[in-house]
Amino acid sequence: MKVIIVLASDILKFPPVLNLVNILNDMSIKTTVICTRTEFDVKDMKYVKLSRINIDYENIFNPLVKMIKLPEISDIFWKKINEFYEEDSILWVVSNLTLKYLGNKIKKYKYILHFLELSENLKYYNKIPFLKLNAHELCSKSLGVIVPEYNRAHILQAWWGLEKTPFVFSNKPYIKNVIDKNSDISNKEARVIFEKVQNKKIILYQGILDAERPLDKFIKAIGKLGEDFVFLVMSGGKNIYSNLKENNYYFIPFVKPPYHLEITSHAYIGVLSYFPTKDTGYSVLNTLYCAPNKTFEYGMFRVPMLGNNIPGLRFLFETQKCGICFDNFTEEDIIKGIKSIEKNYKYLSDRALEYFNSVDSETEIKTIFDNICLRYI
């Protein structure tokens, strides 16, 4: 059996796909990764081959031009896929964007659909709503559908009228080499910042910076806690809060996985911020039922979590007891949340690690293969 993972993006920006690749490699499954613009290193992976595609589709902003160029880009992907696809191959298609590139032609192949985000419709472009793929048909003809979170599985099943509930492959990091708490930091730029914040209580946010994940009130709230605290943001995006002149706010640009976890290992509290907004290309439920890999990354290092009150976080914190939700996105409620965590720090810290250990990513993948793959080979 061979697996061909197709991702229309840079794999380094998708930790769940890196996890998948590492698991398949350790399972001795021959795997080819077709992706775009990446520095992903496969030299230590015995069973993984990398094939890059160079496209500039994401920088096209005119929807008409996007639609005109779509067939051209689709052909590029299919030519590359057919270089590797054989009778015993399975296409593992990651993200709805990748599926749009591949289109209905995929029905001629054996394939799995792996959705990292939640979209009610598989539209080609938001401003052209009548051009979309038939989600029910594509999912029904697949070997299986995978999502990263329990609620999303049932939401997709209801939206798309699926006979079977999608499988869950959690966004937990799959790390073979142990990274210790308060690990040495490899990234030079990060080391410079850590020299400034030694012996401080580091409240950390790591992830995307956008309207759905506002941090301004966190920055201001933590600024009021005094010099014992710092708020550290680690992101691959632009520092959109550089205008906020709080003395204890620091920004670290993108750090290549898994070395970003060296920074996570120093966190005192981990921040999660999710507020639904429109016009993102995804359903507003995508944010309400978030499935952030950073909850596991915080949990790996016993880091209690603080987030706003949405179902995806509240359900996690109430069942796993690894964090606290605040009700109102105000500086006062954020400060109360931080102080509440400090009062119960040992308990929340221990439960954060228990949460991390409660999920076995390799078992999840083996279960998926047992249920939907091996019967077709």
What pLDDT is attached to residue 128?
Answer: 62
Q: What is the DSSP string of 90-111?
A: EEEEESHHHHHHHGGGGGGS-E
Task: Please determine, for residue 32, whether its predicted confidence score (pLDDT) is greater than 60.
Answer: yes
State the average pLDDT for the chain. 91
Between CA 127 and CA 142 the distance in angstroms is: 28
pLDDT digits (tens, 9 = 90+) for 283-338: 999 999 998 999 999 999 999 999 999 999 999 999 999 999 999 999 999 999 99
Side-chain-side CA neighbours of residue 103 (13 Å): 14
Residue 257: which of 27, 46, 10, 4 has the closest Cα?
10
Q: What is the mean pLDDT of residues 149-158?
A: 96
SS3 16: helix
pLDDT at 127: 59
- 125 has a pLDDT exceeding 70: no
Q: Is the dihedral of CA 73, 75, 79, 84 positive or negative?
A: positive
**Is the model's pLDDT at 1 over the cut of 80?**
yes
The first and second tokens of residue 298, run together, are 């915080």
Residue with the larger pLDDT of the pair 267 and 236: 267
Instruction: Dump pLDDT digits (tens) for 159-196.
Output: 999 999 999 999 999 987 788 999 999 999 999 999 99
Which residues in 32-52 are b (16+ Cβ under 10 Å) and which e?
A: bbbbbebebeeeebebbebee
pLDDT at 357: 96
User: Look-up: residue for tokens 């970003």?
Assistant: 260
| 206 contacts 234 by C-beta, under 8 angstroms | yes
Question: What residues form DSSP beta bridges with 93?
Answer: 6, 113
Residues 225-242: tens digit of each pLDDT:
999 999 999 998 899 999
